[in-house]
Amino acid sequence: MMKFNIVPPDRSFEASLKEKIDNLTKPKGSLGRLEEIALQIGLIQHTLTPSLNHPVNVVFAADHGIVEEGVSFSPKEVTRQQVFNFTRGGGGINFLCRQHGFDLKIVDAGVDYDFGECPGIIDYKIRRGTSNYLCQPAMTGEEMNLCIERGSQIVEKCKSEGCNVISFGELGMGNTSSSSIWMHFFTGIPLAECIGAGSGLSDEGIRHKKEILAKAVEIYRGDGSPESLIAWFGGFEMVMAVGAMLKAAEEKMVILVDGFIMTACALAAKELCPAVQEYFIFCHCGDESGHKKMLDSLGAKAILNLGLRLGEGSGAVCAYPIVDSAVRMINEMESFKSASVTKYF
Domains and CATH numbers, the chain: 56-328 (3.40.50.10210)
Residue 149 CB: number of other CB atoms within 10 A? 15
* Average pLDDT score over residue span 40-55: 98
Do the beta carbons of residue 134 and residue 215 sit within 8 Å?
A: yes
Query: Phi, psi (5° rounding) for residue 275?
Result: -65, -15
Is the per-residue pLDDT at 28 higher than 90?
yes
Task: Assess whether pLDDT exceeds 70 at residue 19.
Answer: yes
The residue with greater pLDDT, 51 or 116, is 51
What is the mean predicted confidence (pLDDT) over 279-307? 93
Q: Could you tell me how far CA 152 lies from the centroid of its own chain?
A: 14
Angle at 277 between CA 272 and CA 278, to 5 degrees: 130
For 160-197, give the DSSP string: HTT--EEEEEEE-TTHHHHHHHHHHHHH---GGGG---
Is the predicted pLDDT of residue 288 greater than 90, yes or no? no
Mean pLDDT of the 38-42 span: 98
User: 309 falls in which pLDDT band (50, 70, 90)?
Assistant: confident
**% of residues, the chain, pLDDT over 90:** 90
Average of per-residue pLDDT across 31-55: 98
CA–CA separation, 113 vs 128, rounded Å?
A: 7
Among 65, 66, 24, 60, which residue's Cα sits nearest to residue 42?
24
- Give the pLDDT mean for 310-331: 97
Q: What is the pLDDT of residue 185?
A: 97
| Listed range (40-54, 58-72, 197-211, 222-236) with the worst mean pLDDT | 197-211
Determine how many CB atoms are found less than 10 A away from the CB of residue 315.
31
Q: What are phi and psi of 167, to 5 degrees?
A: -130, 160
Q: How confident is the model at residue 199 (pLDDT cuts 50, 70, 90)?
A: low
Marked catalytic residue, from 35, 237, 288, 312: 312
Q: What pLDDT score was predicted for residue 74?
A: 80
Q: Could you count the other beta carbons within 10 Å of the beta carbon of residue 49?
A: 10
What would the mean pLDDT of 270-291 be, rounded to a whole number?
94
pLDDT, average across residues 87-106: 98
Dihedral pair phi/psi, residue 165, rounded to 5°? -140, 125
Band (pLDDT 50/70/90 cuts) for residue 45 is: very high
Average pLDDT over residues 61-71: 93
Over residues 25-32, the mean pLDDT reads 96
Secondary structure of residue 295 in the 3-state scheme: helix
Is-catalytic flag, 143?
A: no
Within 13 Å of residue 100, how many CA atoms lie on the same side as its CB? Answer: 28
> What pLDDT, on a 0 to 100 scale, did the predictor assign at position 90?
97
The model carries a pTM of 0.96
Between 202 and 8, the higher pLDDT residue: 8
